[in-house]
Amino acid sequence: MKKEIRIVGFGGQGIILAGVILGEAATRAGHWAVQTQSYGPESRGGGARSEVVISSDPIDYPRVRRADVVVALSQEGYEKYGREPGIPTVVVDSDLVEAETVQSLPFTKTAEEVGHKIVSNIVMVGYLGALLDVVPHELLEETVLANIPEGTEELNARALAAGRVLYENHAG
């Protein structure tokens, strides 16, 4: 089993944290995982890219070679990374990206509905967790809760669950 995931957007959207959570959850589930990222020197804004490789075997090259999933949370990110031919699954945030022929999902809107748009990255993690199907939801939730600030557990748990529901309602 090998899954290569690439999440792109701009600084401040929490996409690196999303990658860390996916990688850590995969490790807790007994898989091999590597999480990497790229970002510029700007303290706000700027492009950001988070990559996770999950595998049943030890991983040599730590980056995405052939993405299984690309999630774009910014127009620029989508233009740069979401348009390569042959990516099996491309997902964009419907509030942030205009794109044809890809899955467009309301991560930001869903986050607002569960309480705050700041957890849109966790909604996305919930969605990805269901899509990838390599980590049980409980383990993913445990990992989310270990990586978010004290006092925000309920909000994040709701966001994660809402993301999973998004997948179940949009699958196929």
Which residues fall within 8 angstroms of residue 115, CB to CB, at 6 or more apart? 155, 158, 159
**What is the C-alpha separation between 61 and 154, in angstroms, rounded?**
37
Q: What phi and psi values does residue 20 have, to the nearest 5 degrees? A: -60, -45
Q: Which of 112, 109, 29, 125 is nearest to 69 (CA)?
A: 125
Number of residues that bind other proteins (CB under 8 A): 21
33 touches other proteins (CB under 8 A):
yes
Closer Cβ to other proteins, 23 or 82, answer by number: 23
39 touches other proteins (CB under 8 A):
yes
55 touches other proteins (CB under 8 A):
no
The strand pairing partners of 91, in sequence order, are 71, 103
Binds other proteins by CB under 8 A, chosen from 8, 18, 20, 114: 20
Binds other proteins by CB under 8 A, chosen from 2, 17, 29, 36: 36
Closer Cβ to other proteins, 33 or 119, answer by number: 33
Q: What phi and psi values does residue 88 have, to the nearest 5 degrees? A: -60, -45
Binds other proteins by CB under 8 A, chosen from 12, 38, 79, 84: 38
Coil, strand, or helix at residue 71?
strand
Which residues of the chain form contacts with other proteins (CB under 8 A)?
A: 20, 23-24, 27-28, 32-41, 59-63, 65
